[in-house]
A and B are shown apart, each in its own frame.
Chain A
Amino acid sequence: MSGAHNFASGMGGIRTAGDLVARMEIARGMKINEAKEYVAKKLGVSVVDLSDPVVMNELRKDLDIGSAYVLPGVAQGIDAKFRIAELLDIEINSVKKFEERIGRKLK
């Protein structure tokens, strides 16, 4: 079922920019169109590009914010979230907790 929804109307998660748009809904309560415009502006792409895996895979590699196709040395988890928090200018709870656990702010 989730596969069919994803095909029909889903943004695509880390294959595209779906996780980033979801972050803006969650962090700022932005409605879908506002969230897409915000992320597109931050990434310097069009709203249509946000759901394009070819465009976004390249861009995610360049920004090192994690992607579905993992290559050696690229961000895969909390490291990607540090960059995403900075890129989108939001606070991510797990990033904040990680900084608390290691006892210092990384940026």
Chain B
Amino acid sequence: MGKIRTRLGDGSVIELSESELQNDLENGTQDAAERGKISPLSQDELRYLAELFKRTDRGVGVDTGKEVVLSYDCGPLKIKRSYGTASKLQSLQMLERLLGADTLEMAHVDYSYKPAKQLLWMDQPIMEQALMVTIPAMFYGAMPNLGLYTQPDGPCVNPMELLPQGKIAEARASFEEMVECAANDMVIVASTMYEAGADGINFDTTGAAGDGDFLAALRATEILRHKYPDMCIEMGMAGEFIFGMHGTLTYDGVRLAGLYPREQLKLAEKAGASIFGPAINTNTNSSCPCDVARASTFIKDCVKSSNILIHGNVGMGVCGMPMQDVLPVDSVSRASKAMVEITGLDGL
């Protein structure tokens, strides 16, 4: 067989020999297995991936009958950031009627709970209106985004300014205050949208600002689950590993810094999440086959360990997708097919 055309994690085209492809797949799964202390993919699964990447088809798809549900983050924002001139409601209808979305998600352009709270008086009526004219389940979504709670935009002293001054205790106290503020905003926004009729809430890109970010989402989830037993709560992660920006924060006795997807999932379950969205980092210097094998290893382990639904975050720069704004069909469709057929997840 000649060279295999694929891509690097940054999206650029490369060519691999058959042995290079095999090595990349094995390196990807071994790396995930070592980092996550989980089982690597089997030889059959690696053979499946090798065949998938050897195919010359531009696009590939799952076998008929194996399709999964697609959930979305920041639906209207995807239209807005392309300078599509459509309202939130029109954007949701485009996703529903033109793009075949299985679920919808309303969101504000800033996609963070802090600014979303200020705009509830505007967004709640739009949510109510959207629920009247659309059919699929509707989420409201945003990010915990702890960074917005630091001065001068927020109420808390910036821990990143305190740390270089050696003020470790003060920096940690500030992080803890940020967690409280964020969790409070998340509960207010989620409650308002659920009371307006939304089917669920999405805490997206959770953990982007480290362990405090994750803790805020866990606390908000716990409060909301107690308040609304039937609410669907989706927790999508920012990356595969929780950074210890604070370092000693815990939830239910478990230290959050350093957690990999399976441990993240277990805490999300304990807090009361309905859907967990693991996000596995793409290495831009590795090949797509390597990144897909690596991501599949982590996600398969999550699915095996999970009592709740798993919707993998297979978006730009995560779960085997290249780190690119405009993504090629060959990479997206291969990552999509591999995630579904190897890991057995419930949705993307």
**A-to-B contact residues, CB < 8 Å:** 1-16, 18-19, 21-23, 25-27, 29, 31-32, 35, 47-48, 50-51, 65-66, 68, 70, 76-78, 80-81, 84, 91-94, 96-98
Contact = CB atoms under 8 A, between A and B. Distances in A.
B183 interface: no
Q: Interface of chain A, helix or strand or loop or mixed?
A: helix
B219 to A, nearest CB: 21
Given A5-B314, A18-B70, A94 B197 contact: yes
Given A4-B333, A26-B199, A93-B199, A13 B136 contact: yes
Contacts of B332: 1, 4-5, 8
B336 A5 contact: yes
Given A8-B337, A78-B132, A94 B138 contact: yes
B168 interface: no
Contact of B196 (A12, A14, A97): A97
Contacts of A23: 136-137
B200 A77 contact: no
Nearest to A14: B135
A106 to B, nearest CB: 14
Contacts of B97: 14, 68, 70
Given A9-B62, A9-B336, A10-B67, 14 more contacts: A4-B332, A6-B99, A8-B61, A9-B70, A9-B337, A10-B68, A11-B67, A11-B69, A26-B200, A51-B64, A51-B65, A68-B100, A97-B131, A97-B196
A81 B230 CA distance: 17
B79 to A, nearest CB: 11
Category for how many chain B residues contact A? 35 or more
B309 A31 contact: yes
Contact of A22 (B64, B71, B98, B316): B71
Contact of B308 (A14, A29, A50): A29
A18 B347 CA distance: 11
